[in-house]
Amino acid sequence: MKTIKTLTIAAAAGLSLMSAASFAQSISVESSTLDGAEAKVAAVAQQQGAQYKITEANTNNRVHMTAELYK
pLDDT category at 5 given cuts 50, 70, 90 is very low
For residue 60, give the H/E element and its range: none
CA distances from 36 to 30, 48, 60 (A): 8, 19, 15
Residue 10, pLDDT above cutoff 70 = no
Closest CA to 56 of 40, 39, 38: 38
Closest CA to 45 of 71, 64, 12: 71
pTM greater than the 0.85 cutoff: no
Q: Domain locations in the chain?
A: 24-71
**What confidence score (pLDDT) does residue 60 get?**
86
**What confidence score (pLDDT) does residue 24 get?**
84
11-47: pLDDT as tens digits: 555 555 555 555 689 999 999 999 999 999 999 999 9
